[in-house]
A = this chain, B = another copy of it.
């Protein structure tokens, strides 16, 4: 059992994206990505079974998908998709997301 405080990992990287592993076990991996406003977490996918959730905890922008599809993303919005499905994030303001990956990759 552990308690993680996300206000302790609020670090931004002027080069674009700061990635922090919060938890990694056989069951899931949990990460915090902090993305500078104006930056993009590029659309990507992995040829693996499993799913990912992306919850916005600060800022706003868009969830990105295949074929240049975009969905507005604000605090409290969550994208859930297969790891195989192309997904990404565009930060219009400084943006923080919490990502769960199960099973972990």
What residues of chain A have their CB less than 8 Å away from a CB belonging to chain B?
1-7, 22-23, 25, 27-28, 30, 49-51, 53, 55, 57, 63, 65, 71, 73, 76-82, 85, 87, 98, 100, 102-103
Contact = CB atoms under 8 A, between A and B. Distances in A.
A52 to B, nearest CB: 9
Contacts of A81: 1-2
B100 A1 contact: no
Nearest to A49: B27
A73 B4 CA distance: 10
B50 A5 contact: no
A50 B28 CA distance: 9
Contacts of A79: 1-4
Nearest to A66: B1
Nearest to A83: B27
